[in-house]
Amino acid sequence: MKTRKLGRSGPEVSAIGLGCMGMAAFYGQASDEAQATAVIHRALDLGVTFFDTAEMYGPHTNEIQVGKALAGRRDKAFIATKFGIGYNADRTALAVDGSPANVRRAIEGSLTRLGVDHVDLYYLHRVDPNTPIEDTVGAMAELVAEGKVRFLGLSEAAPETLRRGHATHPITALQTEYSLWSREPEDGLLGLCEELGIGFVPYSPLGRGFLSGEIRSVDDLAPDDFRRSNPRFQGENFQRNLDLVEAVKGIAADRGVTAAQLALAWVLAQGPHLVPIPGTRRIRTLEENVAATEIVLTPEDLARIEAVFPKGAASGHRYAEAARAALNR
């Protein structure tokens, strides 16, 4: 497995990580313990070291899954988790809490569920508009001083927020959605991360699975899969986005790779400070994703991809309204 440095002064991690969210939440029935453990163990065997989870995945159950799977192999894993967001009681809106008190409450719960004495990378999952970022990051920095956290990260932070947070305590990584169909980070964030020496961690680098080309209809999704409420999976947007993926599949076929591998290789080609974290519940898909790290796209390949799937081509917002309201812009 190739490795990449997570930020100018950060650690070496595998060139891609494993996003573990889908094992416990949002994509229909959760994986059982045996299934989750098998995927995580296979990832370790393939050289994946970077594992991503969060307090809200489940909620809580994904951290338990990850912790159990990594028990006995902790020294091989770089564990990232997140805090600061959750649904309200009726799941109609997202509540964000970046208060210093919640920083302290959340880490204790995550350490217990993961079964570890420290987290390698601790993210603020969403920026709290009611708490200055300096206060949140300052409280997170106390956890570093106490040895409960090694590195700090932010998720979906706007450029000015990232600058302010980084000035309070070094931010090792920014996690934000980025893929062929979600290219907003190109409007300043990627360049700022490079300028400040911050690693960039693209989540959903396969467009929540859509860029694999394996989802042909909304009926391919479980009845309780949250993607059914995602604008890009609805109505005319679905077919327009599928047409884009079909064009990518043609380029992938010419290269002898899958559409998913081409999409991952495209993300990896955007800079050496990017470490994507595709998620999966299946060993076969995991192996396919890991193999994408060996694909080197030529300038001609990149130009062909840009021609059929240019920035802004995707139809529909990347989140439904409740989730969009929680984004820092």
286 HSE (CA, 13 A, CB side): 25
Res. 190: pLDDT tops 80:
yes
- The CA R_g of the chain, rounded to the nearest whole Å, is 19
**Would you say residue 187 has pLDDT above 90?**
yes
Asked if residue 38 is part of any domain, the answer here is yes
- Whether 52 and 203 have beta carbons less than 8 Å apart is answered as yes
Closest to 245 measured CA to CA, from 276, 210, 217, 221: 210
300 exposure class (CB count in 10 Å sphere: 0-12, 13-18, 19+)? exposed
Establish if 240 belongs to a structural domain: no
How many Å apart are CA 301 and CA 95, to the nearest integer?
A: 42
Q: Nearest to residue 295, comparing CAs of 328, 268, 322, 313? A: 268
Give residue 200's pLDDT: 98
Answer yes or no: are the C-beta atoms of 180 and 211 closer than 8 Å: yes
Q: Tell me how far apart the alpha carbons of residues 201 and 261 are, in angstroms, rounded to a whole number.
A: 17
Rounded to whole angstroms, the Cα distance separating 255 from 23 reads: 31
Q: Are 279 and 19 in contact (CB under 8 A)?
A: yes
Annotated active-site residue in 57, 122, 123, 203: 57
When pLDDT is cut at 50, 70 and 90, the band that residue 91 belongs to is: low
The pTM score is: 0.95
Domain that holds residue 100: 3-209+270-295
pLDDT mean over 80-107: 88
Distance CA 18, CA 20 (A): 6
Q: Do residues 180 and 208 touch, judged by C-beta distance below 8 A?
A: no
Compute the Cα dihedral for 313, 319, 320, 324 and give only its sign.
Answer: negative
**With bands split at pLDDT 50, 70 and 90, how would you rate the model's confidence at 86?**
confident
* Residue 34, C-beta contacts closer than 8 angstroms, at least 6 positions apart: none
Residues 55, 112: contact at Cβ < 8 Å? no
The answer to whether the Cα torsion of 131, 63, 118, 202 is positive or negative is negative
The residues that bridge with 155 in the sheet, in sequence order, are 175
pLDDT of residue 77: 98
Q: What is the CATH number of the domain that holds 12?
A: 3.20.20.100
Which tokens hold the place of 98? 């970046």
Q: For 258-312, what is each residue's pLDDT tens digit?
A: 999 999 999 999 999 999 999 999 999 999 999 999 999 999 999 999 999 999 9
Q: How confident is the model at residue 177 (pLDDT cuts 50, 70, 90)?
A: very high
Q: Tell me, what's the pLDDT at 89?
A: 65
- Of 6-15, 90-99, 222-231, 318-327, the range with the lowest mean pLDDT is 90-99
pLDDT score for 199: 98
> What distance in Å separates the CA atoms of residue 71 and residue 324, rounded to the nearest whole number?
36
Does any domain span residue 88? yes
Question: Is 244 within a domain?
Answer: no
* pLDDT at residue number 118: 98
Token look-up 């970046």 returns 98
122 is catalytic: no
Percent of the chain surpassing pLDDT 70: 98
- How far is C-alpha 68 from the geometric centre of its chain's CA atoms? 21
Q: Is residue 39 part of a domain?
A: yes
User: Is residue 259 included in any domain, yes or no?
Assistant: no
* Amino acid 92: pLDDT: 65
Q: Is 60 part of any domain?
A: yes
Q: Does the structure show a pLDDT above 70 at 325? A: yes
- Mean residue pLDDT of the chain comes to 95
Separation in Å, CA 313 to CA 193, 240, 272 = 24, 9, 25
Q: Domains in the chain: how many in total? A: 1
pLDDT tens digits along 22-65:
999 888 888 899 999 999 999 999 999 999 999 999 999 999 99
Domain assignment present for 248: no
